[in-house]
Structure 1
Amino acid sequence: MKIGAFIILLMTSYSIYANPILKLPSTKCYDNYFSIRVVDLFYCVSKHTIEEVYLLGITSTTAVIKEGSLELSIGLNPPEISISNLHKKLGLTVHEFFMGLYSEDLDIDNFNDIKSAFDINSQNKLSVYSNGNLYAFVIIGSNVDYDRIYLNKKGSDIVYQVTGEFSGKQLLNILSKIKY
């Protein structure tokens, strides 16, 4: 009996550690940076490399930032738009929905369709970064229309979305410029 329980524990432990949640990089906003605020999220940009900032919408809930070769859209993206309120349909919080998508344990019939809608496949993995209650759910890859970072605090239905075309190395730089 103890050996069977150990084997089950070992098998479930492996699945947890197969896709570890990564630590968000430290924020690197210094004297040569200034912050662009989108509602209650701040994105730091270098005073030397910033080229353009566009605020979209009457309430300034979205900003487009061009810094060097990188162009990002950063915006408050309510769950009815960012995840089509799938969390409500499944009786989950936004955080639980993203974590279920990440761990692939959402108990629904059309799970592959949902993964496809988010461009998650063998070439485009969903990765997760966290620090405290802040989580960044990241989808980047070669055959994604645009790379995405979904930012969500555990216990909150607020979703911020950062979109653009960026590499894994650029991703860490982007994450290090976010204060939320």
Structure 2
Amino acid sequence: MFERFTKDAREVVTGSVDHSERAGADSVTEEHLLLAMLDQEGTRTAFAFACLGIADRRGSVENALADARRRGGLSRADETALAGLGIDVDEIISKIEETHGAGALQVARRPKRRWSGHRAFSPSAKDLLVKSLRIAVGRGDRHVGGEHLLLALTARPGVVADVLAEHGATYEAVERAVFGGGATRAG
């Protein structure tokens, strides 16, 4: 599949590995893929971020991702659903952090270990790469570009899609920014 990736899509993948290593994460996640996309300049993805006003709000995106990590990976949709049941997630997090310290709900990092030169991708990150291929094929595109990776991020429910949507990058908005046409969701 990787042979079908354009240069910018490959740079997203390799950049996500760098973000994962700098964060000390056990694997490459969708969040790392998004951060690598935000690093790019002169690509269709960078153009979409600029059109949607996200390029100038990288700090806000990073803060929203950090807030989601603080909430133990709960998305805003999860939080809203729990609120509908009368559960105040912020109150629970405050009490847990009061007892166990700040960031107590964040996924624990394992001690550093030697890497074999290959950093594993999380199952959701792997699924995202497959989804991007399906989107490209569904659009009739022969190659998978960064724009397909971004569309895949917005099409998959979860924290990253929530953060992007909060910043105006829904599937439809990204598709309009990149391709200029109507929405045709693939796969």
Higher helix share: 2
**TM-score of the aligned structures, taking structure 1 as reference length:** 0.25
The one of the two structures with greater contact order (alpha-carbon pairs below 8 A, sep at least 6) is 2
Bigger strand fraction: 1
